[in-house]
């Protein structure tokens, strides 16, 4: 991967090793994706389009052909995060009737993130244009009109009031439309957490698929073998040969992924916490709480359960193969956040007979937005 030095007015962000971050997300979504019957459109099925072709149309001739007869094409993805905006310029080659292979990536990141320009939208265009110039330098001229250009915004823009976020996205879209690249109506959008996880899963598959598309994890039983099919590609999933106990191997890998990537705060020691969603389901699944009524536990209970489940999987590899991974990850994640092992968590699906989901918060925020629109400007 080639990094571009920064000659503009914005500082270049440090580039974290991509596989480490993706593996963290992989741990989050692996179990869900294993059982999920439907998936989003595969990254592998990037549509070929000749210069001048419209978005989504199939070209009658390949974009470019390498000396060995392999098709060559490009894609540009902007990742608009909370701390910075990053551009990934990907070059792919695809042998006839085969899955594409990533042959090169150019990466550049600028700070601050788009959300920092919420009150001065016009200033956001400068950084976007600077990153587009990197793409123009990296991609041959003949490929510009056929290279898809996309921006996905994540956490930073999700937290902004809707109107401010949309103004920022509209400004980005204007800059994109003025570029020479292939721009569709949906070229700029806010990515929800689920899509972010699914995309990370596809990234892991794409980057680790080799020698028959095999994915190996130290958090799966050494004797576990399974298959997962996606985009007409079948992946073999298996555990790693054990030089130590399964929990020790898994915990070591998870700790490596989390190291220096989680903000630890002392305040968590002194505040009451409720946990729900997958924390609830995971705890109920291993008997830490009642599946219907919920209950309380201490953070250390997740670690105890992880060790027990991992030990069980060493002799019964097919009994919930991802439970060791999930419990180990949750246990270490909470500890990295600063939760003591003795910290009590209240796990519940309802408070005052109201579901602990995002719905109440979403409608409250919406009503508050309406009220602020009705109020005279201060």
Distance CA 348, CA 17 (A): 36
Residue that wins the pLDDT comparison between 221 and 343? 343
Query: Is residue 10 over pLDDT 50?
Result: no
- Residue 245: closest CA among 317, 168, 300, 313: 313
Q: pLDDT grade, residue 212 (50/70/90)?
A: low
User: Is the CB of residue 82 less than 8 Å from the CB of residue 187?
Assistant: no
User: Is the CB of residue 243 less than 8 Å from the CB of residue 249?
Assistant: yes
Of 48-57, 210-219, 271-280, 360-369, give the lowest mean pLDDT range. 48-57
User: Is the CB of residue 231 less than 8 Å from the CB of residue 42?
Assistant: yes
Q: pLDDT grade, residue 12 (50/70/90)?
A: very low
Query: Is residue 168 over pLDDT 60?
Result: yes
Global pTM?
A: 0.47
For residues 227-254, average pLDDT: 77
For residues 239-244, average pLDDT: 77
Residue 236 sits at the vertex; the CA angle it makes with 97 and 204, to the nearest 5 degrees, is 75
Residue 215 sits at the vertex; the CA angle it makes with 214 and 218, to the nearest 5 degrees, is 135
User: Could you list the active site residues?
Assistant: 196
Which domains are seen in the chain, by residue range? Answer: 2-25+47-205 (3.30.420.40), 245-355 (3.30.420.150)
Burial class (CB in 10 A: 0-12, 13-18, 19+), 121: middle
Query: Is residue 131 over pLDDT 50?
Result: yes
Of 34-43, 275-284, 321-330, give the lowest mean pLDDT range. 34-43
Q: pLDDT grade, residue 361 (50/70/90)?
A: low
Residue that wins the pLDDT comparison between 242 and 65? 242
Query: Is residue 185 over pLDDT 70?
Result: yes
- Residue 277: closest CA among 28, 77, 12, 9: 28
Q: Where are the beta strands (DSSP E) in 54-100?
A: 71-80, 85-94
For residues 60-83, average pLDDT: 73
Q: Do you know the residue count of the chain?
A: 378
Of 4-18, 81-95, 135-149, give the lowest mean pLDDT range. 4-18
- Tens of pLDDT, residues 286-298: 999 999 889 999 9
Of 184-188, 235-239, 246-250, give the lowest mean pLDDT range. 235-239
Using a pLDDT cut of 90, give the percent of the chain over it.
26
pLDDT at 362: 65
Query: Is residue 303 over pLDDT 70?
Result: yes
Beta bridge partners of 298: 344
Residue that wins the pLDDT comparison between 211 and 339? 339
User: Is the CB of residue 51 less than 8 Å from the CB of residue 143?
Assistant: yes
Per-residue buried b or exposed e for 4-41, using 16+ beta carbons within 10 Å of the residue's own CB: bebeeebebbeeeeeeeebbbbbbbbbbebeeeeeeee
Mean per-residue pLDDT over the chain, rounded: 75
pLDDT at 354: 66
For residues 225-248, average pLDDT: 74
- Tens of pLDDT, residues 224-236: 888 766 545 677 7
Q: pLDDT grade, residue 377 (50/70/90)?
A: low
Cα→Cα distances 177→79, 171, 174, 211, Å: 18, 10, 5, 40
Distance CA 334, CA 326 (A): 12
Distance CA 52, CA 146 (A): 7
pLDDT at 346: 92
């Amino acid at each position: 991967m080639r990094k571009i030095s920064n000659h503009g007015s914005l500082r270049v962000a440090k580039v974290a090793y991509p596989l480490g971050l993706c593996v963290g997300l992989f741990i989050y979504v692996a179990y869900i994706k294993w059982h999920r019957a439907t998936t989003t459109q595969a990254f592998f099925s990037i549509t070929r389009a000749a210069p001048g072709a419209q978005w989504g149309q199939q070209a009658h001739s390949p974009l470019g052909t390498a000396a060995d007869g392999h098709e060559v094409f490009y894609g540009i993805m902007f990742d608009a995060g909370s701390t910075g905006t990053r551009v990934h310029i990907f070059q792919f080659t695809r042998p006839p009737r085969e899955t594409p292979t990533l042959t090169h990536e150019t990466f550049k990141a600028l700070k601050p993130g788009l959300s920092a320009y919420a009150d001065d939208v016009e200033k956001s265009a400068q950084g976007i244009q600077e990153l587009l110039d990197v793409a123009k330098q990296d991609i041959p001229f003949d490929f510009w009109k056929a290279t898809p250009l996309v921006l996905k915004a994540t956490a930073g823009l999700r937290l902004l009031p809707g109107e401010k976020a949309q103004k920022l996205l509209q400004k980005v879209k204007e800059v994109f439309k003025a570029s020479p690249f292939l721009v569709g109506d949906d070229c700029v959008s806010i990515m929800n957490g689920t899509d972010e996880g699914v995309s990370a899963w596809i990234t892991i598959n794409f980057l680790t698929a080799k020698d028959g598309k095999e994915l190996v994890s130290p958090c799966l039983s050494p004797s576990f073998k399974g298959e997962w099919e996606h985009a007409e590609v079948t992946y073999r999933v298996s555990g790693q040969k054990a030089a130590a106990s399964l929990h020790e191997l898994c915990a070591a890998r998870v700790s490596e992924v989390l190291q220096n990537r989680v903000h630890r705060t002392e305040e968590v020691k002194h505040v009451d916490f409720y946990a729900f969603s997958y924390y609830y389901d995971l705890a109920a699944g291993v008997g830490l709480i009642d599946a219907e009524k919920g209950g309380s536990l201490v953070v250390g209970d997740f670690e105890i359960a992880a060790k027990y489940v991992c030990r069980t999987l060493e002799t019964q590899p097919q009994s919930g193969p991802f439970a060791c991974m999930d419990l180990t990850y949750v246990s270490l994640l909470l500890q990295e956040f600063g939760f003591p092992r003795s910290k009590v968590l209240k796990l519940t699906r309802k408070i005052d007979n109201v579901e602990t989901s995002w719905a109440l918060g979403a409608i409250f925020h919406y009503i508050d937005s309406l009220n602020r629109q009705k109020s005279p400007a201060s």
